Structure 1
Amino acid sequence: MNKDIEILKYPIGKFQIPTSITPELVEKWIETIEIFPHKLKAEVQNLTENELKKQYRPNGWTITQVVNHCADSHMNSLIRFKLALTEETPTIKPYCENLWAELSDSKHYRVDSSIIILEGLHARWTTLLKSLHHQDLEKEFIHPETQERISIKTNIGFYAWHCEHHLAHIINAKRN
């Protein structure tokens, strides 16, 4: 049963940092981030209130919570990118995503507002990402929970994965 839950939690697998992050790979990741709001909108725009309450796994988030989480997470991510680009290896502020997902604006508020946020946010975010030079991609921030130094290029990959990860959650929840 634990293996089945892991598959439901990570339908595309866990993020793996490639041994070599090439400019072509970064470009592909940026494209994934750029088109995510459009793919997400296509998956949820015609869902009923009951369908939006479907979960991708037992005791998992609803589709509404997943969409609203993406807006929260990606807003935080853009800020982390900007901190890393403008400060010397800043320590970022984490947030309790599971607690945020239980707040009323995450749990019960309509998803169209988060889609609008994501459309605007991803347009700005990808404009920023496409403007980065090689030395910018090497800049890092520190995650205080792990003390890990995370480069901008690695974080681009993580968020491309994050987009596809939660898109798979929604597709799976719609099948339930």
Structure 2
Amino acid sequence: MGNEHLDFLRYPIGRFAPPDSISEKELKVWIAALEVFPSRLSNLVCDLSDVQLNTPYRNGGWTVRQVVHHLSDSHHNSYMRFKWALTEDTPQIKVYDEKAWAALEDSVSGPIDLSLEHLEAVHKKLVYLLQRVDRAVLKKGFLHPESGFTTLEENVGRYVWHGNHHYAHIERLLEARGWTG
């Protein structure tokens, strides 16, 4: 398998590339996407069997179950980053070992409903917050130890991308296996 094919499997919608500037309209579209993402994901995975949930989306990749749990974990961490940046002056965030978290028993064998319900709650809280903060406040941000400064408005787009990125992993697996509709 060539590097281009592997890159396509790893990044089916491409890598996140933040725009140079973020318009009010784009921000509203992103917030709306965050609002509906949990239900989109739930609709995609809710009827999958344990065999399907335990299938990796690519060779060497996480299982569908692990991807669902990762989305919950990651978006929870993102929500915390928003809260820190809104209440502190450019905080340096703590990164977490995604692979290690995905290898924990709750991610390997836990019911996906736990993470689907958690993701729904986290997104409802985040969307509620984002719809009510002054746009200027979203210029605040945090320091990521590896990637540097990120504004909150950019982080909104990053997590829309992140959800769609993993959604595409699952969707492509389902299509490739003939497990759709």
The one-letter code of the counterpart of 1:12 is: I
Q: What is the correspondence of 1:27-42 to structure 2 with a 5 Å cutoff?
A: 27-42=28-43
The one-letter code of the counterpart of 2:153 is: K
Deviation readout 1:27-86 (Å, 9 max, x if unpaired): 111111110100000001100000101222110000000000001001100000000000
Question: 2:160 matched to which residue of 1?
Answer: 160
Quote the Cα distance in structure 1 between the aligned partners of 2:76 and 2:141.
18
Question: 1:138 matched to which residue of 2?
Answer: 139
After TM superposition, the runs of 4+ consecutive aligned structure 1 residues lying more than 6 A away are none
Question: 1:89 matched to which residue of 2?
Answer: 90
Q: What is the correspondence of 1:49-88 to structure 2 with a 5 Å cutoff?
A: 49-88=50-89
Aligned to 1:101, the other structure's residue is in SS state helix
Q: What is the deviation of 1:128?
A: 0.6
Asked if the contact 1:29–1:157 (Cα under 8 Å) also holds between the matched residues in 2, the reply is: yes
- In structure 1, the gaps of 5 or more residues are none
Question: 1:127 matched to which residue of 2?
Answer: 128
RMSD (CA atoms) = 0.8
Moved more, 125-134 or 67-76: 125-134
Question: 1:45 matched to which residue of 2?
Answer: 46
Q: What is the deviation of 1:145?
A: 2.3
Deviation readout 1:119-160 (Å, 9 max, x if unpaired): 1111111001111212211001000123x1100000001001
Question: 2:20 matched to which residue of 1?
Answer: 19
Question: 2:119 matched to which residue of 1?
Answer: 118
Asked if the contact 1:32–1:163 (Cα under 8 Å) also holds between the matched residues in 2, the reply is: no
Asked if the contact 1:68–1:114 (Cα under 8 Å) also holds between the matched residues in 2, the reply is: yes
Aligned to 2:103, the other structure's residue is in SS state coil
Quote the Cα distance in structure 1 between the aligned partners of 2:90 and 2:21.
22
Quote the Cα distance in structure 2 between the aligned partners of 1:128 and 1:166.
24
- In structure 2, the gaps of 5 or more residues are none
The one-letter code of the counterpart of 1:133 is: D
TM-score normalized by the length of structure 2: 0.94
Question: 1:7 matched to which residue of 2?
Answer: 8
The one-letter code of the counterpart of 2:123 is: H
Quote the Cα distance in structure 1 between the aligned partners of 2:100 and 2:106.
12
TM-score normalized by the length of structure 1: 0.97
The one-letter code of the counterpart of 2:145 is: P
